[in-house]
Amino acid sequence: MAEIADLSVPLIAPSATADVRESHDRRSPLPNPFFDVHVHDASHAVPLLGLCAGFESGNWRAAAFADHLMDHLIEFALTRDEWQNVNTATAYRALRRAARTVYLTDKYQNRGEVGELLLHAVMRQHYGTEPIVSKFYFKSAANDTVKGFDAAHVVFVNPPEDLELWLGEAKLYTDVDAAIRDVCGELSKHLSDDYLRSEFMWIENKLPRSTPGIDQVRRLLDEATTLDQVFDVLNVPVLLTYESKTVRDHLKSTTDYIAKFTNETSEHHQKFVHLNPAKKVKVHLCLIPLMSKKELLG
What DSSP string runs through 170-224? Answer: EEE-S-HHHHHHHHHHHHHHHTSHHHHHHHHHHHHHT--TT-TTHHHHHHHHSTT
What average pLDDT does the chain have?
Answer: 83
Query: Which pLDDT tens digit goes with each residue over 202-227?
Result: 999 889 888 888 999 999 999 999 99
pLDDT of 189 reads 95
pLDDT tens column, 132-145: 988 765 554 444 45
Question: Cβ–Cβ contacts within 10 Å for residue 60, how many?
Answer: 21
- pLDDT, one tens digit per residue, over 3-23 is 323 333 333 333 333 333 333
Angle at the Cα of 159 (from 156 to 163), degrees rounded to 5? Answer: 30
Contact by Cβ (8 Å): 111, 135 = no
Q: What pLDDT is attached to residue 11?
A: 37
* pLDDT at residue 129 in the model: 94
Any idea what DSSP says for residue 249? Answer: T
| Other beta carbons within 10 Å of 10 | 13
The whole-number pLDDT of residue 24 equals 40
In the beta sheet, which residues pair with residue 56? 59
Give me the phi and psi of 187, to 5 degrees please.
-60, -40
Residues 81-93: b if buried by 16+ CB within 10 A, e if exposed: ebbeebeeeeeee
Q: What's the pLDDT at 102?
A: 58
What's the pLDDT tens digit per position in 258-275?
Answer: 999 999 999 999 999 999
The neighbour count for residue 210, using CB atoms within 10 Å, is: 15
Question: What is the C-alpha to C-alpha distance for residues 141 and 100, in angstroms, rounded to an integer?
Answer: 11
Kindly state the average pLDDT of the residues 46-62.
98
Residue 12 to residue 28: CA distance in whole angstroms: 21
Is 191's pLDDT higher than 90?
yes
In terms of phi and psi (left: phi > 0; alpha: psi -120 to 50; beta: otherwise), the region of 49 is beta
> From the CB of residue 121, how many other CB atoms can be counted at a distance below 10 Å?
23
What is the identity of the amino acid at 235?
N
Better-predicted residue by pLDDT, 221 or 85: 221
Task: Tell me if residue 45 falls in helix, strand or coil.
Answer: coil
Q: What is the pLDDT of residue 297?
A: 87
Other residues' Cβ atoms within 10 Å of the Cβ of residue 298: 8
Global pTM reads: 0.84
Portion of the chain with pLDDT greater than 70, in percent: 75
The amino acid occupying position 178 is A
The string of pLDDT tens digits covering residues 158-190 is: 765 689 999 999 999 999 999 999 999 999 999
